[in-house]
Structure 1
Amino acid sequence: MDDLTARPLLDSVVISATSEIKRRRERFSARSLVAWQVGAHGNKVELSTFADDVRSALNVRRADIQFTKFHPEDFFITCSNQSDRDAILRQPRLATASGRDESLHGIPARFRYHARLCLEGIPMHARTDEAAAKIIGRKCSIHYVEEYSRRGNYNRTFDLWIWTDEPRAIPRGGPFSLTSADEEGLSMDILLPDLEPHRNPPPSEPKEG
C-alpha cells in the first residue's frame, strides 16, 4: 500500500466552468441561502429541528424547500423558486441568513498564460474534454477545443486552448489508461424531494484499466 503520510498538505486545482456548473451556479444564486445559529451551541442544533422551525415560522411547504448541513456556516437552504427564497430573506425572524455568495470563502485568481496544446496518442473514442482535462494536469483549465478536433476532421492530434498560471506544470508526456466503464450516476439536476444522501457500497476489487 502507498504511504499515505506522504500526501501533500495543500494543492491547487483549476477546472473549467462547464455548462452544468453554470446551471447549478445560476440555480443556487437564485434559489438558495445560507443560515447559521447564534450562540455557543448553535452548531449542535439538529438539521430536522431547524428545518421544522423554519417551515413553521415561514409557512413553507415541505416539498418547496430543502435543508442540508453546510460548512463553514450551519445550514444551506434551497427553495423550489426564487420568490420563496426572497420572501425568506425579507423575514425579520430569520436575521441570521443571507443569500448565497460563491465568493464568500473564495480567493480571486488570475491566469496569465493562454496556450495552445496539441495532444498526441489519445484514442479516437477518448477524445473528450474530460480526458483532455486529466492529461493537461491540475494547474490548467480548458478554454476550448478546436472545432476540427471536436468534429474529428483532423485526427493526428487533439488540439485545444488552455488557461494556466503555471505553464511549467504542464506534463510533456506520460501513459494514458482507460478504465472499465462504471455504472452511470444520477443527474445532478433533480427535484428537491429526491435530494437525499445516497450511499453506495465501496468497491470490492481494484479498478482495472
Structure 2
Amino acid sequence: MIYGYARCSTNEDKQDIMRQTRELKAAGAEQIFLEYEHGDTAIKKQLASLLEQAKEGDTIITLEVSRLARSTKQLCEIIDTVKNKCLRLSIVGSINVDCTNGEIDPMTNAFIQMSGVFAELELRIIRERVRSGMANAKAKGVKIGRPQVTADNIPAVFFRHYPAYQNKKLNLSEFSRICNLSRTTIYKYISLLDNV
C-alpha cells in the first residue's frame, strides 16, 4: 500500500492542501491522510494514525520533510517508527528511505536528519521575522492582536438565530453550525450580550 501524507497549518489553506493532494496522487499515493496542524505540534493525529495503520513493506510518501516535522527530534522518532515497522518513506523528488529490511543505511539517515535540521531552522527564522515585524508595527503605533469584539460588531447571522437558541430550539452545537462560527466564539458573543 502507498500512503500519502499532506499537512498544512490551518484548514483555511485549502489551495495548499489540494496542491499537495494532487502531487501525492501523481506520485502514486493510494490513500492520503490530511493534517491541519503546525509542523512543530507534538501530536499530529493523522500522522499517528497513518503510522499505526501502515504495515510491513508499505510506503509513505510526502512532498517535503517539513510536512512530516519541523523538529529534528520528531523527525528522528518518525524515522525510528518507519525502521521498526519495516516501511519505506519517500520525500517526493529528493529522499528515499527504505527500511523494509529493518535497517536504514547511515548516509540516508544522516541526509534525512540534516533535512530535519534545515526544516527546524526555517521555522525558527520565520518565527523571528514575525516577532521582529510585530515589534516594528507596535513601535509605529499599530495595534497588535485580534480586534476587540463588542456587542456592536457581532455578526447579523448570530442575532438571526439567537432567539431560537434562547428558546431552546437550538443547542449550542447547532447554533454554532448554523452561524458557521466556533463554539468558543458563540460563547464569547453570548457572554458579551449577558453583560450589556
Q: TM-score range by the shorter chain?
A: under 0.3
Larger helix percent: 2
Higher normalized contact order (CA 8 Å, seq sep 6+, divided by chain length)? 1
